[in-house]
Chains A and B, each alone.
Chain A
Amino acid sequence: MTMHKREWPTVVALAPVLLLVLAPFAWLIVSSLKSEIEIGQADPLSLPANLMWRNYQDAWQIGGFSELIGNSFLNLAGVVALTLLTCTPAGYALSKIRFPGREWLFYAFILGLTIPIQAIVIPLYEVLTALGLVNSLSGIVLAQVSNGIPFGIFLMRSFFTNVPDELVEAAKVDGATHLQILTKVFLPISTPAVQALIIISALSTWNDFFLPLVVLISPQVQTLPLGLVRFAGTYSSEYRLVFSGTVISFLPIILLYILTQRRFTEGLTQGAIKG
């Protein structure tokens, strides 16, 4: 009890931090349910007289959010699938198969983590143009996969490194090949890391603005962040639409967070990413 009493100053000190985290969310959501006149009154602490669910209906229709969300989901599915297919075997090989140049190859991949996307974005556009992939979802998928591979390999290798080598040796004694060890031994015990990779990959793809801005030109193929900017720019004076459109754009990813937060945390902290 004494301990708890001593704790109160810390708890009080944490309150503004929590407020800072929550306030923008709360304000945005409350404002998205106000009328244009109520928003114009600039009283941030007031609640809406009537909940204006119509704002969401209007934003959804005017902003074409169904198409944007559809494109974002296709984009996300492609990136997540390809990231898993490339990073899992590479992470295993770089962790458990001893071959000359393994360490250097790993550091070469890690170097990719340090390359800001703006350093390559113009030539990347040229490469995609040459391949006929500009303005297509397959083009953006490939570009985002290449951007996500360094972190994916880093994550999977970190996790696999923490699995004892004895497990590999035991499986080999039983006659298993490396491919069998990867698919039948390592993948089943790597669920937290795989799930963390899926979530991180999904998150960064869903939220990406820079690469889609360069690669996806016509509105028909654009993803949610691009659509939101276009929408907010066109209806910048209609705050109720901008606010509700903004909430619509992050609701799916918040839902993903609520559903997966425990697994996501486990994957990132149970052995993965320890340098």
Chain B
Amino acid sequence: MSRRLLGLTLVLPALAVIAFLFILPLIMSAVGAFQVDGAFGWGNFEKTFDLYTKDIVFTVVIVSISTVLIGIASIAIGGYLTLGEHPVAVAILRWLYRWPMFIPFIVVGQILRTFLSKNGMMNNVAINLGLLTPIDAVSFLDWRGIVIAFVWKQTPFVALLVAGAMASINRETIDAARNLGASRLRVLIEIVVPQVGTTLTVGLILSFVTMMSVLSVPLMINAQTPTMLTADIAFRVNSYGDYGVANALGLISLLLASSVAWIYLRASLKERS
């Protein structure tokens, strides 16, 4: 069997599933987004931007803030696991930080809905400690709740990848910098982080796309407007049976996610060439 035929044969099962259940629906979604009453046009997009511009901006801002915070937290965790000198603290952090990764988004939403509400645990603890009076307690069940949920859930995944990449860095360069008097923060920022840039980018892009696709968290934590695009899609379909606008919203989500992924792809191609 020729190499080309063999290669394609091994790829074929995956390709067939993707073509039929991923690419075909994607094409149908694109066609559906441009279809208005049997004709092609921009009607669904005009309606989408009329009704949901705020939500598009809200989604981009929420996911971007979360991505930045996840990046910072992952570097901090990975950095401490790599450069930390207190073995017990390193061991505790290593054991603990991955837990939220295994909790479903739906459970995260359920936990945080009661945890962050006006009379939830967070405010109750602050009141019991005398840090807050009951009248000053505010609910975090808005954009802040979504960001907290995303950062809580996604940081471990990126931190795991980043910590793995940091662990494989040549220790000699780190030790040399430390011997020359560089602080750990400086070593982290100037030596360690640049060497794990690709892994960090991959992790953050995967997290960005994952957060763009989450329905349960915005539904459970922030049901009011503005909300995220996934909640809007569910609303258009369930309440109006409006598949045209729902497809348009889906296509806009795709463009947002793809534009971020393009950064990785461009960097990856540049590296290879």
Chain A residues close to B by CB (< 8 Å): 3-4, 6-8, 10-11, 14, 17-18, 20-25, 27-28, 42-45, 82, 85-87, 89-90, 92-94, 97-100, 102, 105, 107, 109-124, 126-127, 142-143, 145-147, 149-153, 178, 182, 203, 206-207, 209-210, 213, 225, 228-229, 232, 239, 242, 246, 249-250, 253-254, 256-257, 261, 265, 268-270, 273-275
Contact = CB atoms under 8 A, between A and B. Distances in A.
Interface of B: 3-4, 6-8, 10-11, 13-15, 17-18, 20-22, 24-29, 32, 73, 80, 84-86, 89, 92-93, 96-107, 110-112, 114-115, 119, 121, 124-125, 128, 152, 160-161, 163-165, 167-168, 198-199, 201-203, 205-206, 209, 212-216, 229-230, 233, 237, 243, 246-247, 249-251, 253-254, 257-258, 260-261, 264-265, 268, 271
B224 to A, nearest CB: 18
Contact of B164 (A94, A116, A268, A275): A268
B11 A90 contact: yes
25 contacts: A14-B80, A20-B152, A87-B14, A116-B257, A118-B249, A119-B251, A120-B22, A123-B24, A124-B25, A127-B21, A146-B22, A147-B22, A149-B17, A149-B18, A150-B18, A207-B103, A209-B104, A225-B104, A228-B107, A229-B106, A249-B107, A250-B102, A253-B102, A254-B102, A269-B168
Given A14-B93, A269-B161, 10 more contacts: A11-B89, A97-B7, A97-B10, A105-B11, A107-B265, A119-B253, A120-B25, A123-B26, A254-B99, A274-B199
Nearest to A88: B10
B102 A18 contact: no
Nearest to A261: B98
B111 A116 contact: no
B89 A10 contact: yes
- Main secondary structure, interface of B, reads helix
Q: What 4 pairs across the A-B complex have the smallest Cβ distances?
A: A269-B164, A123-B28, A207-B104, A114-B261
B123 to A, nearest CB: 9
A246 B107 contact: yes
B29 A120 contact: yes
Contacts of A118: 212-213, 215, 229-230, 233, 249-250, 253
A173 B23 CA distance: 40
A148 B166 CA distance: 27
A124 B21 contact: yes
A143 B20 CA distance: 10
A207 B106 contact: yes
B14 A18 contact: no
Contacts of A275: 198-199, 201-202, 264, 268, 271
Given A97-B6, A123-B24, A207-B106, A113 B230 contact: no
